[in-house]
Structure 1
Amino acid sequence: MYLEAQKLNRRITIQRKVGGQDSLGQPVETWVDVCKLWSHIKTINGSGFINQEFHDGGKELSRTTASFRVRIRKGITADMRVLHQGQVYEIRVVLPDLQDNRYMDLGCAIGANQG
């Protein structure tokens, strides 16, 4: 699918988790920025990614999925996350655009995650 440049109209930040130590030598994990990209965002309905409601410890939780289409960028993997307007999206899958190899889709979930 050809995507016009003006549809890449949402700024997102890709982050990755890094390990380190605190001042007492205890292990800590933090998220650091990898890059900022322009994207086209779609909420996904249907098979594969679905909106889910489930229970955890007596609380009802909700998870919604979305796709962020960005220009191809090497190094983005499913163990990273997307930040958009203060929301944390867990990257679940990175899908290449097989038609013209210019874009990639980041299949993400938000809600009920550890971010």
Structure 2
Amino acid sequence: MLAGKLNRRISVQAPSTDQDAFGQPLQTWNTVYECWASIDVQNSQLVYATAEFVSKVTHRLEMRWTPSVAIAPNQRVVYTEPTTNITHVYEIQAVVNTKQANKELVLFVYELNGAE
């Protein structure tokens, strides 16, 4: 993996449950890890769901492997473009430790429509 390829600062977030003022469960996201990564578009398609077309874009994120945090498919990745200040939220679908070498991780993600 070339260091120059890792040119996006991302945050990996894990879900957590808090309570609102009325004691009802409220899902929030906590940042568990921040690092440099590369983001590449793999596939794009329109899916007809709930009487409307929804855009599904598959991305591939590459990052260095770390023993300090376990990244799992129930988490998400957040990336904010520094020039436009647009926030992209990606739902992690799969995590691959390439060649089981503990050097890099490849995340396959879907971009969610709009920031949550």
TM-score calculated relative to the size of structure 2: 0.83
Aligned mate of 1:31, from 4, 15, 29: 29
1:84 corresponds to:
79
SS at match of 1:14: strand
Q: Deviations 1:46-102 (Å, cap 9, x if unpaired)?
A: xxxxx2212223211110010110111241111000001211000000001107431
1:72 aligns with 2:70: no
The whole-number CA distance in structure 2 between the counterparts of 1:55 and 1:109 is 16
Q: How does 1:5-24 map to 2 (within 5 A)?
A: 5-24=3-22
Report if aligned partners of 1:68, 1:106 keep a CA contact under 8 Å in 2.
yes
TM-score calculated relative to the size of structure 1: 0.84
1:102 corresponds to:
103
Count the aligned residue pairs: 108
Unaligned runs of 5+ in 1: 46-50
Report if aligned partners of 1:13, 1:84 keep a CA contact under 8 Å in 2.
yes
Instruction: Give the ranges of 4+ consecutive aligned residues of structure 1 lying more than 3 Å apart after TM superposition.
Output: 111-115
Question: CA-atom RMSD, angstroms?
Answer: 2.0
Unaligned runs of 5+ in 2: 81-86
